[in-house]
């Protein structure tokens, strides 16, 4: 029997009837309304680039380190001299990334190991910077998983805050969806990437020493290896979940990125692991459509990708939803429909209607297995014809 997710049902079987989908559509009207209001509230009219920037509402009561570095954590303390040597004195030729936290450089340690050196901006408010930096060090030092970027060490002194992490050489997911490297990610690779991210979140939510809520799952925070394995990075906004196993959430000020932010968390300030599930749902839509969550250059009814995709999904118009760079086939449309169904359940308006990441992993593996079987069948039929 398929597992029930609250009032919703997920299984790799064909899409549910139009009657049950209509009920689901009613539930999502609240989501679409919240999407619109939350984006306008945070100045979405300033432009697409501004809308994609991370934002946070901070207060002294929220900005404290609730994470204690575990005794078994092993992050190496680097010296500034070592980091200058590794990055040619933070040369612009070594720069590989730029974000709200600071600049990322590619470095090489004395043993020849390539690393990513993340240097914080010095003009950021010191109290906020220190908290965000210490949070990321503490959390990264306490976790280890194939699909999480590994922390190798750090430096903290004066007004310098620097993280040293494993170097992941193939850019981020958003860059690949934009074809910045001239390679189109096919649907099978996109499924594998989704599964990798789901595995990482399952580990953080259920198998870390304490539940960890990432709070900033988005395409630019997913790094890809040369073999297109996904690694989740950037734990600056991460938060340890409730200590009480009976508690459903923690109350905290809002942090995240417009477009991926859980509307229930935005409205109530109640953060839970289901907030990451919501962001993952939006990311699934991004994987299928190739579009960013907010694209203000488009016509009005297409600016919020989740809303536009959901309307097309209800109309069974999957051809328009599927990234135009992907091949059109019956099997591709079938997979797109099933992934979209999962995406909209993950992005349900209330956390109680969203699945756990454990269940998401199981569903995605089932979809992948079915898609692989369809592709193999297609190859066999082609060989027989020839």
Could you tell me if residue 237 is inside a domain?
Answer: yes
Domain end call among 139, 166, 193: 166
Q: Are residues 253 and 355 in the same domain?
A: yes
**pLDDT interval class at 317 (50, 70, 90):** very high
Query: pLDDT above 70 covers what percent of the chain?
Result: 76
Q: Tell me how many helices (H) and strands (E) the chain has.
A: 12, 16
Which among 192, 196, 216, 234 is annotated as catalytic? 216
Rounded to 10 deg, the angle between the 330-346 and 357-385 helix axes is: 180
Q: Are residues 265 and 281 in the same domain?
A: yes
Q: Do the Cβ atoms of 288 and 340 come closer than 8 Å?
A: yes
Q: Are residues 235 and 330 in the same domain?
A: yes
- Give per-residue pLDDT as tens, 137-195: 877 888 999 999 999 999 988 888 899 999 999 999 999 999 999 999 999 999 999 99
Domain that holds residue 77: 73-166
In this prediction the pTM is 0.82
Q: Are residues 315 and 179 in the same domain?
A: yes
Considering only residues 370 and 20, tell me which one the structure prediction assigns the higher pLDDT: 370
- Give per-residue pLDDT as tens, 38-85: 444 433 333 333 334 444 443 333 333 333 344 444 558 899 999 999
Q: Are residues 39 and 159 in the same domain?
A: no
Q: What is the pLDDT of residue 344?
A: 98
Provide the CA 163 distance to its chain's centre, in angstroms.
20
CATH number at residue 98: 3.30.200.20
Q: What is the pLDDT of residue 380?
A: 84
| Mean pLDDT, range 315-339, rounded to an integer | 94
| Mean pLDDT, range 20-32, rounded to an integer | 48
End-to-end CA distance of the chain: 41
Could you tell me if residue 332 is inside a domain?
Answer: yes
Considering only residues 52 and 330, tell me which one the structure prediction assigns the higher pLDDT: 330
Question: Lowest-confidence range among 66-70, 211-215, 232-236?
Answer: 66-70
Q: What is the pLDDT of residue 54?
A: 44
Interatomic CA distance for residues 170 and 157, integer angstroms: 31
| Residue whose tokens read 């450089």 | 105
- Give per-residue pLDDT as tens, 286-309: 999 999 999 999 999 999 999 999
**pLDDT interval class at 8 (50, 70, 90):** very low
Domain end call among 137, 166, 195: 166
Could you tell me if residue 338 is inside a domain?
Answer: yes
Q: Are residues 204 and 231 in the same domain?
A: yes
Domain end call among 147, 166, 185: 166
Interatomic CA distance for residues 354 and 209, integer angstroms: 23
Q: Are residues 338 and 218 in the same domain?
A: yes
Instruction: Determine whether the annotation assigns residue 122 to a binding site.
Output: yes
Beta strands per DSSP E along the chain:
4-5, 8-9, 54-56, 76-77, 95-98, 102-108, 114-120, 151-157, 160-166, 212-213, 222-224, 230-232, 239-240, 250-251, 255-257, 270-271
Could you tell me if residue 194 is inside a domain?
Answer: yes
Q: Do the Cβ atoms of 202 and 361 come closer than 8 Å?
A: yes
Could you tell me if residue 66 is inside a domain?
Answer: no
Catalytic residue flag (residue 216)? yes
Angle at 245 between CA 280 and CA 248, to 5 degrees: 50
Could you tell me if residue 2 is inside a domain?
Answer: no
If one counts the domains in the chain, the total is 2
φ, ψ dihedrals at 14, nearest 5°: -55, 160
């Amino acid at each position: 029997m398929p597992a029930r997710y609250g009032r919703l049902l997920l299984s790799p079987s064909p899409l549910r009837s139009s009657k049950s989908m209509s009920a689901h559509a009613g539930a999502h009207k609240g989501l679409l309304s919240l999407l619109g209001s939350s984006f306008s509230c945070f100045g979405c009219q300033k432009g697409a680039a501004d809308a994609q920037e991370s934002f946070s509402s901070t207060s002294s009561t929220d900005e404290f380190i609730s994470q204690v570095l575990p005794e078994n954590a092993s992050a190496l303390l680097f010296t500034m001299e070592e980091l200058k040597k590794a990055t040619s004195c933070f040369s612009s030729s070594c720069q590989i990334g730029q974000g709200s936290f600071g600049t990322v450089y590619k470095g090489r340690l004395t043993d020849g190991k390539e690393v990513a050196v993340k240097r914080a901006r010095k003009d950021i408010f010191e109290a906020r910077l220190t908290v965000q930096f210490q949070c990321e060090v503490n959390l990264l030092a306490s976790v280890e998983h194939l699909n999480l970027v590994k922390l190798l060490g750090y430096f903290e002194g004066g007004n310098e805050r620097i993280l040293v992490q494993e170097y992941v050489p193939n850019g981020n997911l958003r860059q690949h969806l934009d074809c910045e490297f001239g390679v189109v990610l096919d649907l099978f690779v996109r499924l594998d990437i989704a599964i990798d991210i789901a595995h990482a979140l399952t580990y953080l939510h259920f198998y870390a020493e304490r539940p960890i809520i990432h709070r900033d799952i988005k395409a630019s925070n997913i790094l890809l290896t040369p073999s297109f394995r996904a690694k989740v990075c950037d734990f600056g906004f991460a938060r340890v979940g409730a200590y009480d196993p009976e508690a459903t959430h923690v109350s905290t000020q809002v942090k995240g990125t417009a477009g991926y932010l859980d509307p229930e968390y935005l409205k109530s300030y109640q953060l839970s692991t289901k907030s990451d599930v919501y962001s993952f749902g939006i990311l699934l839509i991004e994987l299928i459509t190739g579009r960013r969550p907010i694209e203000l250059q488009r016509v009005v009814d297409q600016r919020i990708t989740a809303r536009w995709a959901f309307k097309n999904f209800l109309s069974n118009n999957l051809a328009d939803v599927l990234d135009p760079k992907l091949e059109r086939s019956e099997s591709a449309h079938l997979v797109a429909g099933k992934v979209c169904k999962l995406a909209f359940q993950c992005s349900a308006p209330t956390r109680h209607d969203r699945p756990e990441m454990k269940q998401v992993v199981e569903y995605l593996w089932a979809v992948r297995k079915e898609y692989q079987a369809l592709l193999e069948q297609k190859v066999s039929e082609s060989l027989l014809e020839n």
